[in-house]
Structure 1
């Protein structure tokens, strides 16, 4: 389970977010903090995997809180998703520089939060499966977080080759490799892989790792399933 700490100065909002976390498979809310000081204490005591972090806190800024976590004995330091009303680009840029998994601007619905939590869970699980990563694996892992941002579900709006690749993945039972796609579309494997990587980033397909009897796992693809 991914142990999640909600940090928000509004007690009601914090409870809503904590309840939302509990509704997503693979997550558990371990607590709610309402100030920087309380959050630091709870992070030290609970060692959460993930913070849902508001930026406007009564005794400081959420990003300053993150910087101060370096003073604590944490192994590793928790990941974080920003949940805030702050819309200024400076805050967005600073959050990105500090390693934010995502930046959700209030108000947002449960569906948006669930989408990002599922993407984070997939990344979290994927990182745990690899001791060493090649570029293809790195691209796939980064694509897990980027996927929900820019989905294009209608193949009629895509370039013809991409639409053909997506149609083959849709028809696959249960999944398909880049080599299979290349053969059926009539393009090189590298071209098929490039389109598959792009669709992975868009959130149209998802990566399936097929572990054989030996060697590195085969990368296969299937249509993105609902969370």
Structure 2
């Protein structure tokens, strides 16, 4: 179980977040804190793996708390944390990333968004614990796994119709496909399929692999994005 500490100055919001976390399999809420000082104490006594951390607390910011914990425990570090806040300024986002935030959820948000990010984090921990060495494929996979599927869903809803069909073709294929395969399947030209596939790769919705044949020239092969 992933031991989770919920930190929010609003008692009702903290309770609501705790109930939401408790609904997600694999997570255990070990406490609620309503100030940085209370959170600091509970980090020591409850030993959480994950903080659901509000930015604005009555005695200091959530990021200030992270900085304090890091300074006090330079070897063990701080628990992983997801920042939950109404702060929308880019400096706050940058600071959160620099301090190692797993994710940044902007209030208000739906339970679905929180659940998807918690599930992504749980899968990331499982993959991390199973990895034996940090080769490039493992590193790439670990980084991509923390990306919330909600972001992919929003992108998919905004895709033009033909591009969405290209993405569905790649996702449903049992093996990696070429632009020619996609073109034949959809009845479009190869350059059209290639153009849409390149955009999908750029947006992080499709993975590109280079397959080297006997001629030595690589063939572009496309597959569903690895999570």
Same fold (TM over 0.5): yes
SS in 1 for 2:147: helix
SS in 1 for 2:120: helix
Inter-CA distance 65–134: structure 2 relative to 1 (3 Å threshold):
same
Pick the aligned partner of 2:169 from 151, 167, 170: 167
SS in 2 for 1:113: helix
CA shift, 1:11, in A, is: 0.6
Q: Distance in 1 between matches of 2:225 and 2:117?
A: 18
CA shift, 1:2, in A, is: 0.9
CA shift, 1:125, in A, is: 1.1
CA shift, 1:72, in A, is: 4.1
1:25 equivalent in alignment to 2:41: no
1:158 equivalent in alignment to 2:163: yes
1:38 equivalent in alignment to 2:43: no
Runs of 4+ displaced beyond 6 Å: 221-225
Q: How many positions carry a matched residue from both structures?
A: 193
SS in 1 for 2:29: strand
Inter-CA distance 11–147: structure 2 relative to 1 (3 Å threshold):
closer
Contact 2:20 2:111 in 1 (8 A): yes
Q: Distance in 2 between matches of 1:98 and 1:223?
A: 27
1:66-105 aligned within 5 A: 66-70=66-70, 71-72=72-73, 75=76, 77-105=78-106
In structure 1, stretches of 5+ residues that fail to align are 206-220
Inter-CA distance 74–2: structure 2 relative to 1 (3 Å threshold):
farther
In structure 2, stretches of 5+ residues that fail to align are 183-193, 208-222
SS in 2 for 1:68: helix
SS in 2 for 1:57: coil
Contact 2:66 2:78 in 1 (8 A): no
CA shift, 1:77, in A, is: 2.3
Pairwise CA RMSD: 3.3
Q: Distance in 1 between matches of 2:64 and 2:49?
A: 19
